[in-house]
Structure 1
Amino acid sequence: MTKYGAVPRHLPTSPFKARAQAPRKHFAVGDRVTHDTYGLGRAIGVEVEGGSDIAVLVDFGSRQERITQPYTAMFKL
């Protein structure tokens, strides 16, 4: 059984190429964003742990949502 989001390990002796990792998304306070479910919004807070952001608090006008990594449905405008 594998964990959700677990990436298989690439062995150096494998004849196959290692998967290219997508760059991590970073958001700052004040960034305009769009979310597939909630629509347009503005980042009003960023939770940082260990030098990388783990969650973003976004104001979508009618509601505020805490969006966590990996931000697959959220994009910076």
Structure 2
Amino acid sequence: MTKPAAPKRHLPTSPFKAPDTPAPKHFAVGDQVTHDTYGLGRVIGIEDGLAVLVDFGSTQQRVPSPYSKMTALKGH
């Protein structure tokens, strides 16, 4: 079994443009979110930069940063 390749770091002396890095996701208590595994939920707690606690109706889950499977819903 092979390991996934580590992302290559950008050298400051490189003549090529640095790759765009996604902005870190930020959530606030009360934000409505969707999660790839758990579905729709609402943020009910925040652990500063470490994790968020989300109520998905049937379950409450602690979702750790970087929240790759979770997105905030707009217009709530």
Instruction: State whether TM-score is above 0.5.
Output: yes
For 2:7 and 2:66, the matched residues in 1 are separated by 13
For 1:38 and 1:12, the matched residues in 2 are separated by 40
For 1:47 and 1:7, the matched residues in 2 are separated by 27
Deviation at 1:9, TM superposition (A): 2.9
The residue number in structure 1 matching 2:64 is 68
The residue number in structure 2 matching 1:30 is 30
Write 1 or 2 for the structure with the bigger share of strand. 1
Deviation at 1:76, TM superposition (A): 0.4
Deviation at 1:8, TM superposition (A): 3.6
Listed as ranges, the gaps of 5+ residues in structure 2 are none
What's the C-alpha RMSD, in Å, of the aligned pairs? 1.6
Listed as ranges, the gaps of 5+ residues in structure 1 are none
The count of aligned residue pairs is 69
Deviation at 1:7, TM superposition (A): 5.0
For 1:66 and 1:54, the matched residues in 2 are separated by 10
Tell me the alpha carbon deviations over residues 18-70 of structure 1, each in whole angstroms, 9 at most, x when there is no partner.
1111111100101100001000000000001xxxx220000001101000111
Q: After TM superposition, what 4+ stretches of structure 1 lie above 2 angstroms from structure 2?
A: 6-9
What secondary structure is seen at the aligned counterpart in 1 of 2:50? strand
**TM-score, structure 2 length as denominator?**
0.80
Identity of aligned residues (%): 65
The residue number in structure 2 matching 1:9 is 9
